[in-house]
Amino acid sequence: MTALSAPAPAGVTWPGLRRSLVAILRGIAPLEAEAIVGALIEEGLEAIEIPLNSPDPFRSIETAARLAPSGVLIGAGTVLTSADVDRLAAAGGRLMVSPNVDPEVIARASGHGMVTMPGVLTPTEALAAVKAGASALKFFPANLLGPSIIQAITVILPAGTVVGAVGGVGENEFAAYARAGIRTFGLGSSLYRPGADADEVRARARAIIAAYDAACPAPTEPPTEIRHAPS
């Protein structure tokens, strides 16, 4: 079966990141945000998600957004309502990740110019997300589907649809997913757990980036300089 031609996108296009990796900092506290986010940016990660079920998440997002250069996406995960989207925009977030497909939430985020990544599990959900204008699809939990099933679902999607694997996927799985044509990943507990310090997270980021570069080779550039948040 041949992939369909992509319709004109209604939303914001997924950006051309050097590495299509989203760091998921579930449980991070505001006082940790500058050190952890700074370490990730310095190591070369360009998309960072702070889930809204973390402590005081919008404060952490504000700190991260002030810290990040323009080429680094800062945003929120577990976004469930349009009100969440509005608060995310006010905090400076430019990435909206949700666990579900809610066309109203996707449209609201797109209206704010945000990159959107709703969670999907089935072909029906994937097609609904594409129709709603999602920038990328988050297949979650990816470890329940595996590369072969996700690859089979992508056959029915418009050509050029960005497909990400999130949930139970770490650096040891990158190669298998890459062979299935999947080069976008969300990294949660394999990268960060609450209480981890910046040095631990930096070491994990280096291991993840090395594995990604081996599985998904691409030209690399020097690390991005960061702006430190005012004290």
Q: Which of 49, 62, 171, 173 is catalytic?
A: 49
| Cis peptide bond upstream of 118, omega within 30 | no
Give the list of residues 6+ apart from residue 195 with CB closer than 8 angstroms, or none: none
Task: Give me the sign of the Cα torsion angle 185, 207, 53, 46.
Answer: negative
Exposed/middle/buried for 224, CB within 10 Å: 0-12, 13-18, 19+?
Answer: middle
**DSSP category for residue 201:** H
Phi first, then psi, for residue 221 (nearest 5°) are -125, 165
Phi-psi region of 165 (alpha: psi -120 to 50; beta: other; left: phi over 0): beta
The verdict on whether 131 is a catalytic residue reads no
d(CA 203, CA 105): 35
The verdict on whether 49 is a catalytic residue reads yes
Catalytic sites, residue numbers = 49, 138
